[in-house]
C-alpha cells in the first residue's frame, strides 16, 4: 500500500482547500413583489411561484 513519504505541510493543505469556501447565494428579485428570493423557489414574502400564488403567507408583526 502506498504511504506518503512526508507529512503534508499546513501551507500545501490550505492551498488545496482555498477553493472550498462557500459563495454568496444568487438572489433574484421576485417578479410579483420584488423581494430578493432564491431562483426556482417559492417567494417567502408573497408566496408566489411563476406568477401564481402557491401558498398563503401569514403576516406577523
What confidence category does residue 55 fall into, taking pLDDT thresholds of 50, 70 and 90?
confident
Give the span between the Cα atoms of 58 and 27, in whole angstroms.
22
Give the span between the Cα atoms of 37 and 45, in whole angstroms.
9
The backbone torsions φ and ψ at residue 21, rounded to the nearest 5 degrees and listed phi first, read -70, 150
Kindly report, residue by residue over 38-52, the tens digit of the pLDDT: 999 999 889 999 888
Domain positions in the chain are: 25-61
What confidence category does residue 58 fall into, taking pLDDT thresholds of 50, 70 and 90?
confident
Mean per-residue pLDDT of the chain: 91
Contact between 55 and 42 under an 8 Å Cβ cutoff? The reply is yes
Among 21, 43, 23, smallest CA distance to 32 is for 43
What's the grid cell of residue 56?
Answer: 398563503
What's the grid cell of residue 7?
Answer: 507529512
- Specify the pTM: 0.59
pLDDT above 90: residue 36: yes
Amino acid at each position: 500500500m502506498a504511504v506518503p513519504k512526508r507529512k503534508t505541510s499546513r501551507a500545501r493543505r490550505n492551498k488545496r482547500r482555498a477553493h472550498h469556501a462557500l459563495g454568496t447565494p444568487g438572489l433574484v428579485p421576485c417578479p410579483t413583489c420584488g423581494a430578493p428570493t432564491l431562483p426556482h423557489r417559492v417567494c417567502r414574502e408573497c408566496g408566489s411561484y411563476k406568477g401564481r400564488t402557491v401558498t398563503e403567507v401569514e403576516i406577523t408583526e
